[in-house]
Chain A
Amino acid sequence: QVQLVESGGGVVQPGGSLRLSCAASGFPFSTHAMHWVRQAPGKGLEWVAVISSDGSNKYYRDAVKGRFTISRDNSKNTLYVQMNSLTTEDTAVYYCARQLVGTLSGLDYWGQGTLVTVSS
């Protein structure tokens, strides 16, 4: 069955960096675009970034452009996000999600999330 397992969350000081990983299994990883979505404490879901199935196209929300880099290793079935220059506004549970095949399709499988806390 499809599984997405995030890791790499933790506590980091403002200005610090963190790399999150999302290990995928149970489906042909290289055929699906993948997303990162976050949820700050007490807030709603917020889309962060997307990477195309072959990794050639990447898009970000404005608030993370230039600070976050989404990437994937299709040989390892793993999605990543490198987060630099973190601020307290980035504190959230980060979810990776699989996109249904097709342009702008829904996100049909999600991981359990990993918590990132930015605090001094």
Chain B
Amino acid sequence: QSVLTQPPSVSGAPGQRVTISCSGSSSNIGAGYHVHWYQHLPGTAPKLLISSNSNRPSGVPDRFSGSQSGTSASLAITGLQAEDEADYYCQSYDSSLTRRVFGGGTKLTVL
């Protein structure tokens, strides 16, 4: 069981908005450690989508946005496109485990 909890799957139709939640605790997100989000197509290199809760690296479309509140974080994708179908992971640092932690991953299906 992952320290950061994500829904196993989410889905949406093209053009719609979806959100992926990442629930943590007082030893990671709630302690103020930043959350980073990655997009991963199995067999390929994961891609950094959002860094430090809400920063979009150069080249990432503004359809992707991140937010954090309390012990949770969220990734929002607007204007859903077929190419967004992938696995998404949140990642932070946990002070109890003294290491980086990933969420279990969320599979996004574009209907």
**Are A113 and B38 closer than 8 Å at their CB atoms?**
no
| Closest-CB distance, B96 to chain A (whole angstroms) | 12
**Are A44 and B91 closer than 8 Å at their CB atoms?**
no
Residue B102 contacts which of A47, A50, A112 (CB distance < 8 angstroms)?
Answer: A47
Residue B33 contacts which of A45, A59, A60, A104 (CB distance < 8 angstroms)?
Answer: A104
| Closest-CB distance, A88 to chain B (whole angstroms) | 20
**Are A45 and B98 closer than 8 Å at their CB atoms?**
no
Given contacts A104-B93, A106-B91, contact A44 B101 (CB under 8 A): no
CB contacts (< 8 Å) of B103 on chain A: these are 44
B interface list, Cβ under 8 A from A: 2, 33-34, 36, 38, 40, 43-48, 50-52, 57, 87, 89, 91, 93, 97-105
Q: How far is the CA of A71 from the CA of B94 in the complex (A)?
A: 23
Per DSSP, chain B at the interface is: strand
| Closest-CB distance, A102 to chain B (whole angstroms) | 8
**Are A106 and B52 closer than 8 Å at their CB atoms?**
yes
Q: How far is the CA of A100 from the CA of B34 in the complex (A)?
A: 13
Q: How many residues of A contact B (CB 8 A)?
A: 25
**Are A61 and B99 closer than 8 Å at their CB atoms?**
yes
Q: Is the C-beta of A107 less than 8 angstroms from some C-beta in chain B? A: yes
| Closest-CB distance, A117 to chain B (whole angstroms) | 15
Q: Which among B33, B40, B45, B97 has the highest number of chain A CB atoms within 10 Å? A: B45
**Are A47 and B46 closer than 8 Å at their CB atoms?**
no
Residue B36 contacts which of A62, A106, A110, A112 (CB distance < 8 angstroms)?
Answer: A106
